[in-house]
Amino acid sequence: MLRTTLISTCLAAALFTFPAWADDEKPKSKPLSIGDQAPAVDIAHWIKGVEMDKKGAFEPVTEFGNDHVYVLEFWATWCGPCVAGMPHLSELQEKFHDDVTIIGVSDESLPKVINFLFQKYNDGKLHNERTEYTIATDPDKSVWDDYFYAAGQAGIPCAFIIGSDGYVEWIGHPMGMDIPLKEVVAGTWDRQAFKNEWNKEQKLEQEYMAIMKNIRKANAEKDWKTMLNEYDRLIELDPDNGFFVLEKFQVLLRDLNQPKKAYGLGIKLAEQHQDDAQLLNAMAWFIATEPGIEKRNLEFAQDIAHRACKLTDNEEAAILDTLARVYYEQGKLRQAIKWQKKAVEHAEEGMMADEIKATLAKYLDEAK
């Protein structure tokens, strides 16, 4: 199956995608934060939607201010969340068409972006139709360097709102900028209050990134003791994030072969997050399928998989597929077939659907 363990970075990828930059490769820039003067931009290629002069010719944007609000949105053609959010940016551009210019900046080649614009999305529309705002690309990464990396960002899409006075007002995921953008345009935005909150979040983010770096190193060295200690630090940093606890559970069960401790933690986690279908599903799938587990508590996996199905009204194909797999691992083939048929019924067309159908065929063949 096209499954991976749902660790925190995978969960975050539902909203953000992370460019593959090594720490020593990231461009070095003057730090940029809320309330700083927005640097001038030198974008290599303006592709569509740029402002026009009185003669109707394209006029590149090079600097900000002049009683006009700008949004710089950093994206890439390979970034699923970026592509999915394009209609939202188009809606905002239409809503604030007289006061705001939204500029999507890729760091890819001009031919690649143009080719992308004339490909169809899964709704049948060309990306060119889904992007009713300015699109540009800057392959030398100069604008990314001055904004995205200078602000310490790691995931895309990422948007910067630049106020009418030319100062950075807000930084974050484009799906969360509706209210800030409205208030910036209206002149009611409290920049200082957001900056105070931003600074706190950045400090936490730095701690998080340092811990994740330690976890990657410990994983590579199979230093499970250090890895557990680092997960405890993550849990202390963000106690409401059940996926950090899930990762600790995985290390205990798979890598350290401590099923008593692992399942004790897992049962508590399932109780605390009994309404989180995705977390319950991830834990059930891990227990049933992860290589290297010596003791699989399939009854527990069955219970939490059923709970996840119930929370999603038995309509989420991937979760139904998990429950079917748990039954299969228990040797309960009739139940596995029953739930796999439901998974097929609710699977949207695509590679995942093909694999769910292939799994059903496998179960049916074994039942002969």
Tell me what the pLDDT averaged over the chain comes to.
Answer: 89
pLDDT tens digits, one per residue of 190-201:
999 999 999 988
pLDDT at 139: 95
pLDDT at 62: 81
pLDDT tens digits, one per residue of 30-46:
899 999 999 999 999 99
Q: At what angle do helices 242-250 and 224-237 cross, to 10 degrees?
A: 170
CATH number of 17-189: 3.40.30.10
What band does 28 get if pLDDT is binned at 50, 70 and 90? low
Report which of 364, 363, 344 is spatially closest to residue 354, judged by C-alpha positions: 344
Report which of 39, 44, 77 is spatially closest to residue 60, judged by C-alpha positions: 44
Is the peptide bond preceding residue 157 cis, with omega within 30 degrees of 0?
A: yes
Terminus-to-terminus CA distance in the chain, angstroms?
A: 23
Asked if residue 75 lies in contact with residue 157, where contact means CB atoms within 8 angstroms, the answer is: yes
CB neighbour burial string for 194-233, b if at least 16 within 10 angstroms, e if fewer: bbeebeeebeeeeeeeebeebbeebeeeeebeebbebbeb
pLDDT reading at 127 higher than 90: yes
pLDDT tens digits, one per residue of 38-72:
999 999 999 988 555 444 456 788 888 889 999 99
pLDDT reading at 182 higher than 90: yes
CATH number of 222-367: 1.25.40.10
Backbone φ, ψ for residue 349 (5° rounding): -60, 140
pLDDT tens digits, one per residue of 289-327:
999 999 999 999 999 999 999 999 999 999 999 999 999
Q: Which amino acid is at 206?
A: Q
What band does 17 get if pLDDT is binned at 50, 70 and 90? low
pLDDT tens digits, one per residue of 131-181:
999 999 999 999 999 999 999 888 899 999 999 999 999 999 999 999 999
- With tokens 């001055």, the residue in question is 146
pLDDT at 21: 45
pLDDT at 351: 81
pLDDT at 201: 85
Helical spans, DSSP H, in the chain: 8-12, 80-84, 86-95, 110-117, 127-130, 142-144, 178-186, 191-220, 224-237, 242-250, 259-272, 277-289, 298-311, 317-329, 333-346, 351-367
Q: What are the boundaries of each domain within the chain?
A: 17-189, 222-367
Q: Say if pTM beats, i.e. exceeds, 0.75.
A: no
* Token representation of residue 334: 């009739």
pLDDT at 57: 56
pLDDT at 164: 95
pLDDT tens digits, one per residue of 284-299:
999 999 999 999 999 9
pLDDT at 192: 95
Burial class (CB in 10 A: 0-12, 13-18, 19+), 33: middle
Residues 6+ apart with CB under 8 A from 224: 218, 251, 255, 256
> Counting every residue, how long is the chain?
368
